[in-house]
Amino acid sequence: MSPQMLSLLTDATLQTLSMVLVAGALACLGGIPLGLFLALCGPGDLLPRPALQRLLGLVVNATRSTPFIILVVAIVPLTRALTGTSIGTAAATVPLTLAAIPFIARVVEAAVREVDHGLLDAARAMGARPGQIIRLVLLPEARAGILRGLTLAAVNLVGYSAMVGAVGGGGLGDLGIRYGYQRFMPEMMLAVVLILIVLVQILQSGGEALARKLDKRHLKG
Amino acid sequence: MVRLTGLRKVFGGKGKPAVTALDGVDLIAPTGSITAIIGPSGAGKSSLLRAVNLLERPDSGSVVVGGQDLTGLSEADLRRARQSIGMIFQHFNLLANRTVAGNVALALELAGWPRDRIAPRVAELLDLVGLTDKAGQYPAALSGGQKQRVGIARALAPNPQLLLCDEATSALDPETTRQILDLLRRINRQLGLTVLLITHEMSVVREVADHVVVLEAGRIIEQGDVTRIFTHPQHPTTRDFLAGETGTRLPAALAARLSPTARPGDVALVRLHALGPVAAGPVLAGFALAGVAASLVAGRVQALKEIPFAALVLALKGDATAIAAEINHLRAQGADIEELGHVAADAVAFN
C-alpha cells in the first residue's frame, strides 16, 4: 500500500469520524428531548399533550420514511444556508443530523416506554412530582436502553456517512466510490470496507459494554 | 384511620363494554388495625386499595385518611398526603438501577428529606427489616422475600400512618409469605401502623388480619372481626373461601350426592367451625356419648390469632333427635354448625 493511499485513507477515516461524531452529538441534542416528549406526552402518559405529541410523531415518521439519499438532495437549500456549501464533510453533517434526530427520538421513546409501569405506581404512591418521576425513576431505569439505542444510531450514522460520500460528502464512502469503484482499485475498496467494519465493531462493542455496566437489571456472573 | 364512603368506579365506556369495579363501597379501617380485603379475582380489590391513595381516582365517593378527605385535595396537597401513606406491591416495584439502600432512600428524597438525615434513616429501616448486610446490593441479587422487605422498608421510610399492601405476598412461596406476614404483624404492633391489605388467600387473612372485608363484584358482601368471620361466616362466598382455606370443601363427588332430606339409613353431613375450648375439646366423643356415630370427613385445626380454630366436616349417623340435641349443645357453646345435607352411608364409608 503506497504512502499516498495511506494518507487518503487516514484523511477519509478522520472525515467519517468527524461526520459521525458531530452529526451524532447534534442529533442527540435534538433527538433525546424529542424522544422524551414522545414517550411522556402521549394520551394517558405522565404529561399529556396528545395533539402536539401526535403531530411530532407524524413528522418523525415522515422524516424516517424519506429515503436518506432523497433527503440529502431535498434539503440542499437548507444545507447551503447553514454551511455555505452543499459538498464536503461539513455539508454532509446537515442531512446526517436531520436523519438521525427522528431515529434517536424513536429509540429513546422505546427505551423510556420499556420501563416497568409498576415503578410509576410506586413513585406516584410515594408522592413524586412528574419531574421527579422523570429524573429519579424513568431516566435512570431507561439509561441502559437509551445507550443501546444511541449505539444503534451511531452504527447507522457510519453507514449513512458512507452514503453521503456518493454525493460529494467526503469520508470513507467517497473514497471507496472514487478510488475503489471508479478507478478500479480493489485494494482501496477492501481497505475502506475493512476500516468501516472495524469502526462499527468498536462502536457496537463499546456501546454494549457501557450499557451492560449501567444495566443492573440482571445478575452478572 | 381510613374511611371510604360510597366508592364507585366504572372502567371502559365509550364503545367498550363498561365494567363496574366498585359498586358503592363503604369501609372503615380503624387506627392501628390490620384490615384484610379478600375476594375472588375481578372483585375490585385492587381498585379499592388503589382508591385509598387515589392512584385510581373513584368516579364518586369520598376517601378520608387520617381525618383528611383526599378526593378534594389539590395535586400538590395530594402528593404531600401520599407521603404519609406507604404502599407495597405484588411485584415489589423496586428500581433495578438503585441499590437496596438507594431504593429506600428514594422515598426520603421524594419526601424532601435533607441529605444528612437520609443515610441514618435508611440504616435504621434496613435494620428493621433485617437487610443491613444487603444495603449495597442491587435488587437483581435478592430473593423475592428480600425484595419485599426492601419494599416494606421503602414504604415505611417517611414514617407513614398507613400501609397499603397490594397482594404483597402473592408472588412469594409459603415460607417466605409467613415471614413477610410476621414482619407486617411486628411493624403493626411496634409502630402502631394501620395496615390495609388485599389478598385472595384466606391463609393470609388468618395469619395477620384483625378485620376482614369480603368483596365480590365490587360490593362488600360481609365484613367483621376476623374471629367472627372465621367462626360464623354468613355469606356463601365467605363460606366457600373459608372452606378452601380450612380444607372443608366437599369433594365434588360427595357434594353431588348430597340431598336436603334424609332417606332411611342416610348419614347427616355438617360443617363445624369452632374456636378455643370447643375446638380443642372432644367434639367426636360428645356425639358418641349422645349415641351418635360421628366420623371426620375433612378439616383441620389451625391457629387463629394463636387460639385453636377447628373447621371440620363430620358425618353423623344416629337418631335425628339425638343429633339435633348435640348440635344445639355445641351451638350453645359458640360453635358455628352448618347442616350440609344427607348422603347414603356408603358415600362416607359408613356401613
B22 near B9, Cβ under 8 Å?
Answer: yes
- Could you give the CA distance from residue B335 to residue B310 in angstroms, rounded to a whole number? 9
- Indicate the pairing of strand B194-199 with strand B16-29: unpaired
Instruction: Spell out, as residue ranges, where chain A has pLDDT lower than 50.
Output: none
Cross-chain CB nearest to B95 (options A119, A125, A219): A119
- Is the pTM above the cut of 0.90? no
Asked if the model's pLDDT at residue B191 lies above 80, the reply is: yes
Residue B350 contacts A, CB cutoff 8 Å: no
Q: Which of residues 255-314 of B touch A (CB under 8 A)?
A: none
β-pairing verdict for B68-69 and B60-65: antiparallel
Residue type, B294: A
CA dist A87 and A41 (Å) reads 38
Chain B residues inside the 8 Å CB shell of A214: 97
Amino acid at the residue A165: G
Alpha-carbon distance of B89 to A122, in angstroms, equals 8
Average pLDDT over residues B229-257: 88
Beta-bridged to residue A14, according to DSSP, are none
Instruction: Please state whether B180 falls in left (phi above 0), alpha (psi between -120 and 50) or beta.
Output: alpha
Q: Which of B6-20, B139-153, B218-232 has the lowest mean pLDDT?
A: B6-20
Q: Among B86, B96, B111, select the one facing A216 at the smallest CB separation.
A: B96
State whether A215 and B97 contact (CB < 8 Å): yes
Nearest CB to B110: which of A132, A141, A219? A132
**How many other CB atoms are found less than 10 A from the CB of residue B226?**
20
Q: What is the pLDDT of residue A181?
A: 83
Distance CA A178, CA A189 (A): 9
Model pLDDT, residue B134: 95
**DSSP class per residue in B203-225:** HHHHHH-SEEEEEETTEEEEEEE
First to last CA, chain A: 45
If you average pLDDT over residues B310-322, what whole number do you get?
A: 92
CA distance B8 to B62: 10
pLDDT for B178 beyond 70: yes
List, for residues B6-43, the tens digit of each pLDDT value.
999 998 877 778 889 999 999 999 999 999 999 988 88
* Dihedral sign computed on CA atoms, order B141, B144, B145, B147: positive
| Location of C-alpha cell 415503578 | A119
Alpha-carbon dihedral angle through residues B320, B325, B328, B332, given to the nearest 10 degrees:
-170
Average pLDDT, chain B: 92
The percent helix, strand, coil of chain B (3-state, each to 5) is 40, 30, 30
Query: Cα B309–B212–B182 angle (5° rounding)?
Result: 70
pLDDT of residue B49: 96
Nine cell digits for residue B185: 404483624
Judged by CB atoms closer than 8 Å, whether chains meet at B97 and A214 is answered as yes
Residue B158: its chain A contacts at CB < 8 A?
126
Q: What is the pLDDT of residue A67?
A: 92
B140 touches chain A (CB under 8 A): yes
ipTM > 0.95 for the complex: no
Residues with Cβ < 8 Å from A217, sequence gap 6 or more? A144, B96, B97, B140
How buried is B82 (Cβ within 10 angstroms: 0-12 exposed, 13-18 middle, 19+ buried)?
buried
* Buried-state track B286-317, b at ≥16 Cβ within 10 A, e below 16: bbeebebebeebbbeebebeeebbbbbbbbbb
A chain contacts of residue B53, beta-carbon cutoff 8 Å: 125
Listed in order, strand segments (DSSP E) in B14-114 are 16-29, 34-38, 60-65, 68-69, 85-89
Residue in B155, B44, B31 with CA at minimum distance from that of residue B93: B155
Tell me, yes or no, if A140 comes closer than 8 A to chain B by beta carbon. yes
B44-64: pLDDT as tens digits? 999 999 999 999 999 999 999
Q: In the Cβ-directed half-sphere of B207, how many Cα atoms lie within 13 Å? A: 20
Of the pLDDT bands very low, low, confident and very high (cuts 50, 70, 90), residue B351 is very low
**B71-124: pLDDT as tens digits:** 999 999 999 999 999 999 999 999 999 999 999 999 999 999 999 999 999 999
Say how many residues make up chain B.
351
Q: Could you report the per-residue pLDDT of A142-157, keeping only the tens digit for each?
A: 999 999 999 999 999 9
